[in-house]
Amino acid sequence: MGDEAAVFGASGFTGGWVKDYCAAFGATAVTESASAIIDTLEAAGPRPRVVTRQAGDRAVLVEYGEIEFDLTLNFFALAAHAALAEHAVSGVVESAPGFRSLLVTYDPHLTSASELVNALSVVHRDIDPSAGMTLPSRLIHLPIAFDDEQTRAAIARYGNSIRDDAPNCEGGNNVDYIARYNGLADREEVYEALLATEQWTGFIGFFPGLPFMFPLDPREVAFVPKYNPTRTWTAEGAVGIGGPCWAIYPVESAGGYQLVGRTIPIYDIEERNEVFRGNPLLLRAGDRVRFHRVEEAELLELFGDVRSDRYRYRIEESPFDVAEYLNWLPSIEDDARERLERCEAAAATTPVP
Amino acid sequence: MSGSAGILHVTDGGLQTTVQDYPGRPGMLAQGFYPAGAMDHLALRAVNLVVGNPLGTAALEITLGGVGFRPDRAATVCVGGATAPVTVDGEEVELWTSHRVPAGSEIRVGIAEGPGFRQYLAVAGGIAVPELFGSRSTYTMGALGGHEGRGLVSGDELPLGAETDAAAGRRLAAGARPEHARDWQIEAVRGPQATPDFLTEEDMDTLFGRWWTVDPNSNRTGIRLESHKFDWARSSGGIAGGHPSNILDNPYAVGSINVNGDLPVILGPDGPTAGGFVVAATIAHGAFWKVGQLRPVGDRIRFREVSVEDAIEIDNELTGRLTEASIESV
């Protein structure tokens, strides 16, 4: 790696070349110490550290806190997203949350990145996750069948056509690998990690309606590397995990998450079930999903009932009390830490795909 | 209205022809929708200008060429973009120029030999497929919008919008036409994940200094470049994944130069809205049209780093070109 870097780094195509080229075209030369960071605000009170980065000439990426798996950062990002939508800031076209970030797209003729930094600092001032903050949320119940035929088919197809020696696909399933990587005793403990807690939808992305979900109970946390290379086929409704994040595949597609089973549709542009009328997406950022286990035969029946508009999704309006959640966390802190250490110890001795 | 305004019959759909408008479907990023819309937004707006449509009107985006269409009423049309022979009932007509074609005639666009990869066919009155979330654009990854969410095939019938003014005999002045090449300079702004915390200054010199060859496995979702081992300013991605290109998943802006492990990919208008890889630089909106003209066989890119101010200036220059001042009579 060092040698290749030397070859490219030592070539004539360096900062000096960029400057000459820019000068020839009348553009401002970008200094060699240019940074993509526009602004940094250290943490203060309830507000985490805020780093604002330039994301092209029409967007800034606002990052909260450090690179760590801390749902409080996601609560902060969702609150900022909601506040921006509520109090129209001049020039803002839209915002979209990530796990600990917010991409704010703007019209450069109406505002600028530095004006946005100021506007956002006002938005941030009113967000305090520990003080009585609630986030709009719904509790959505979904059935899941584990180790079903479609999941096995996706893994078999991968073994036959893409890679036949992937450690994550040993035995024709991904669940054994998830267990091994996290120091869990068996498949049942993997299933338990998904079933035993409400899963928090941190944001929607990659594909329309695809939820990035995280366990609200940190005692159920699991991490796992993604496929390498990725799969070319995954069934609609497949449920998988990548990194610390669970996802549901909205349509039949390629994918890289380790698969555990299958649920019912969460997206339908053809609106074949009443739940999709006027909006083809089931889930929104801030929703919680509670999975319950069913046999494969029942799942297939429910899948058909969704399509024929006989199934009614169980959705409860249920705002999420952030302070209550944060107050609860310390009571399980020791168990959560133990779980994390178990995962990390197992991961250290498990091959990566 | 569309029923009485005519039909455009597709006689040959070619490699990939889709209905696209501009700016597509912005405002839905938080729900996981990329905007779709014309990949070469300059050419789409220019052909609309020539036929007298509002600049963002839905038109056809043609990939490489080799397509044919037959309107069932007289129509005013203009083809622009990558140079290719355009014929009406076998008779060659000029690009970037509006032509009145009779009902039942066949408009054919031949293969673009390069430079350039996509052509745009505008019809006065527009392609009147139903709007989905405020746009007629086809979002190929989501298989939605446009005509049944897919590329056109022979036998498809597209509703045409009502013509208001026939605007034949107009052309885009030579000076206002885009220049195509096989080696492209594409302007980009550093970040969001670049120096100092993700990539080194040397990495950025490499990104902006070398030629990158376009991989054949490229389309509207993304343009893949070549693998390159960056130095990286950090040793690993930590909890987000072992590789230093891994981050906790975040949303991506269109035009992101996304580094997937060792592979840089330019995210196209139909790309994934979010993911867990760093974005080293973002293509200036006013330069993004060039991405739509990259031929995935042999074209090369050199990214030219510009400031945000310069990027805005590039876009202003482009918008300034898309006015009546750029139109001349044939």
Which residues on B lie below 8 Å from A105 (Cβ)?
A: 26, 29, 253
The residue extents of the domains of chain B are: 2-179, 183-321
What is the ipTM score, two decimals?
Answer: 0.96
Distance, CA of B38 to CA of B285 (rounded, Å)? 13
How many other CB atoms sit within 10 Å of the CB of residue B190? Answer: 28
SS (H, E, C) B218-238: CECCEEECCCCCCCCCCCCCH
Nearest Cα to Cα of residue B208 among B297, B307, B133, B116 = B307
Q: What is the pTM of this model?
A: 0.91
| Closest CB to A18 among B149, B208, B274 | B208
Distance, CA of B135 to CA of B130 (rounded, Å)? 8
For residue B304, give how far its alpha carbon lies from the nearest alpha carbon of chain A (Å): 7
Which residues on A lie below 8 Å from B275 (Cβ)?
A: 205-206
Work out the mean pLDDT of chain A and round it to a whole number: 89
Q: Cβ–Cβ of A55/B27 closer than 8 Å?
A: no
Q: Which of residues 264-283 of B touch A (CB under 8 A)?
A: 272-276, 279, 282-283
* Sequence-distant (≥ 6) Cβ neighbours of residue A344 within 8 angstroms: none
Top-level CATH class of B183-321? mainly beta
Residues A32-62, buried b or exposed e (16+ Cβ, 10 A)?
A: eebebbbbeeeeeeebbebbbbbbbbbbbbb
Which residues on A lie below 8 Å from B282 (Cβ)?
A: 54-57, 59
Distance, CA of A57 to CA of A61 (rounded, Å)? 12
3-state secondary structure of A256: coil
Q: pLDDT tens across B229-266, in order?
A: 999 999 888 777 668 888 889 999 999 999 988 889 99
Looking at residue A254, its pLDDT comes to: 84
For residue B170, give how far its alpha carbon lies from the nearest alpha carbon of chain A (Å): 31
3-state secondary structure of A330: helix
Q: Cβ–Cβ of B308/A69 closer than 8 Å?
A: no
* Sequence-distant (≥ 6) Cβ neighbours of residue B250 within 8 angstroms: A61, A63, A98, A99, A100, A101, A103, B274, B275, B276
Pairing state between β A314-317 and A138-146: antiparallel
Looking at residue B246, its pLDDT comes to: 86
A-B contacts (CB, under 8 Å): 227
Question: Is the Cβ–Cβ distance between B264 and B225 less than 8 Å?
Answer: yes
For residue A262, give how far its alpha carbon lies from the nearest alpha carbon of chain B (Å): 20
Question: Is the Cβ–Cβ distance between A294 and A311 less than 8 Å?
Answer: no
Looking at residue B4, its pLDDT comes to: 57
Nearest Cα to Cα of residue A113 among B149, B253, B212, B73 = B253
Residues B86-104, buried b or exposed e (16+ Cβ, 10 A)?
A: bebeeeebebbbbbebeee
Which residues on B lie below 8 Å from A35 (Cβ)?
A: 190-191, 194-196
Q: Cβ–Cβ of B242/A210 closer than 8 Å?
A: no
Q: What is the DSSP string of A18-68?
A: HHHHHHHTTPPPPPTT--SEEEEE--BTTBPPEEEEE-SSSEEEEEES-SS
Q: Is B194 on the interface with A (CB under 8 A)?
A: yes
Residues B130-158, buried b or exposed e (16+ Cβ, 10 A)?
A: eebbebbbbbbbbebbbbeebbbeeebeb
How many other CB atoms sit within 10 Å of the CB of residue A144? Answer: 22
Work out the mean pLDDT of chain B and round it to a whole number: 95
Distance, CA of B245 to CA of B195 (rounded, Å)? 13
* Sequence-distant (≥ 6) Cβ neighbours of residue A153 within 8 angstroms: A235
Q: Is B226 on the interface with A (CB under 8 A)?
A: no
Residue carrying the six token digits 């130095």: B231
Distance, CA of B71 to CA of B298 (rounded, Å)? 36
Q: Is A34 on the interface with B (CB under 8 A)?
A: yes
AA letter at A143: P
Question: Is the Cβ–Cβ distance between B181 and B115 less than 8 Å?
Answer: yes
Percent of chain B with pLDDT over 70: 98
Give the residues across from B121 on adjacent strands.
B60, B79
Question: Is the Cβ–Cβ distance between A36 and B194 less than 8 Å?
Answer: yes
Q: Is B301 on the interface with A (CB under 8 A)?
A: no
Distance, CA of A39 to CA of B19 (rounded, Å)? 40
Phi and psi at residue A21, in whole multiples of 5°? -65, -45
Q: Is A212 on the interface with B (CB under 8 A)?
A: yes
Q: Which of residues 91-110 of B touch A (CB under 8 A)?
A: none
Nearest Cα to Cα of residue B320 among A238, A308, A109 = A109
| Closest CB to A27 among B26, B279, B306 | B306
| Closest CB to A93 among B26, B242, B279 | B26
For residues B111-135, give the mean pLDDT: 97
Which residues on B lie below 8 Å from A74 (Cβ)?
A: none
Which residues on B lie below 8 Å from A76 (Cβ)?
A: none
Q: Cβ–Cβ of B141/A68 closer than 8 Å?
A: no
Q: What is the DSSP string of B87-118?
A: EETTEEE-TTB-EEE-TT--EEE----SS--E
Q: Is B212 on the interface with A (CB under 8 A)?
A: no
Looking at residue A33, its pLDDT comes to: 52
pLDDT band, residue B3 (cuts 50/70/90): very low
Would you write out chain A's pLDDT as a tens digit for each of its 353 residues?
Answer: 232 222 222 222 222 222 333 333 333 444 445 789 999 999 998 899 999 999 999 999 999 999 888 999 999 999 999 999 988 899 999 999 999 999 999 999 999 999 999 999 999 998 988 888 899 999 999 999 999 999 999 999 999 998 999 999 999 999 999 999 999 999 999 999 999 999 999 999 999 999 999 999 999 999 998 888 888 899 999 999 998 899 999 999 888 899 999 999 999 999 999 999 999 999 999 999 999 999 999 999 999 999 999 999 999 999 999 999 999 999 999 999 999 999 999 999 998 88
The DSSP element (H or E) to which B254 belongs, if any, is: none
Q: Is A55 on the interface with B (CB under 8 A)?
A: yes
AA letter at A300: L
Question: Is the Cβ–Cβ distance between A80 and A52 less than 8 Å?
Answer: no
Distance, CA of B9 to CA of B319 (rounded, Å)? 32
Distance, CA of A213 to CA of A99 (rounded, Å)? 10
* Domains along the sequence of chain A with CATH: 14-129 (3.30.1360.40), 138-348 (2.40.100.10)
| Closest CB to A53 among B192, B201, B252 | B192
Helices (H), ranges, chain A? 2-9, 15-24, 71-86, 113-125, 149-161, 175-182, 187-195, 296-307, 322-328, 333-348
Q: Cβ–Cβ of B142/A207 closer than 8 Å?
A: yes
Q: Token pair of A331, please?
A: 């009571």
